[in-house]
Amino acid sequence: MVFELSNKDLISKALEREEGVLASNGALTVVTGKRTGRSPLDRYIVEEETTKNDIEWGEINRPFDEEKFHSLWSKVESYLDDKERFLTKVHVGSHPDHYLPIEVITETAWQSFFSRLIFIDPDEFNPKGKSNWKILSAANFECVPEIDGTEKINVLGSKLSSSCQRYPSNALFFEY
């Protein structure tokens, strides 16, 4: 089941699901685990027609096979199909012509709430009718490195909020 909830309802869901607690000032507080950042070597970009000649490939911008990406994306979608998940529709960038419409689908209510706070929660989503970008955040999904082509078990399943922030920002820079 997919929920598109208000900020207040996302906070209530996060508390109900024990994803976080309220601080003394009323702010939602979550614990994301022992890691507080990511390694620069954990950056992968799908190497496909629109990226293969425009990315400076190397140790930081590492290519990820397009076929493996589609396979992994399908696995994550199937994984999320069995879960309660949350949808947030936001814009990256405030310019009326130069924004990216993003649909963020998360396994946790708090990550959906966070994505609404760091991006623009528009009065009207995607008024120019642009192609939507999509982020799947499956906090508890585990990759199988030998099959999925990843080096780590938890690539798409980051519990860190920065994952939802970093990818659309990079896409905006690439687009414009």
Domain spanning 2-21+41-175: CATH 3.50.50.60: no
- State percent of the chain over pLDDT 70: 81
- The structural domains of the chain, with segments of one domain joined by +, span 2-21+41-175
Average pLDDT value for the chain: 84
pLDDT in tens, 116-161: 998 999 999 999 999 998 888 888 888 888 888 877 655 554 454 4
* pTM metric for this prediction: 0.83
Do 97 and 13 touch, CB atoms closer than 8 A? no
**Concatenated DSSP letters for 73-122?**
HHHHHHHHHTS-EEEEEEEES--SSS-EEEEEEESSHHHHHHHHHHSB--
Please provide residue 70's backbone torsions phi and psi, each rounded to the nearest 5 degrees.
Answer: -60, -40
pLDDT in tens, 82-115: 899 999 999 999 999 999 999 999 999 999 999 9
pLDDT value for 38: 60
Tokens 């939602």 belong to which residue? Answer: 28
Poorest-pLDDT segment among 31-40, 82-91, 139-148, 162-171: 162-171
pLDDT value for 45: 84
pLDDT value for 110: 93
pLDDT value for 174: 58
Does residue 78 surpass a pLDDT of 90?
yes
pLDDT value for 13: 96
- State percent of the chain over pLDDT 90: 49
Cβ atoms within 10 Å of 2's Cβ, excluding its own: 11
The Cα 94–Cα 125 span in angstroms is 12
Residue 15 pLDDT class (50, 70, 90 cuts) = very high
Average pLDDT over residues 32-44: 67
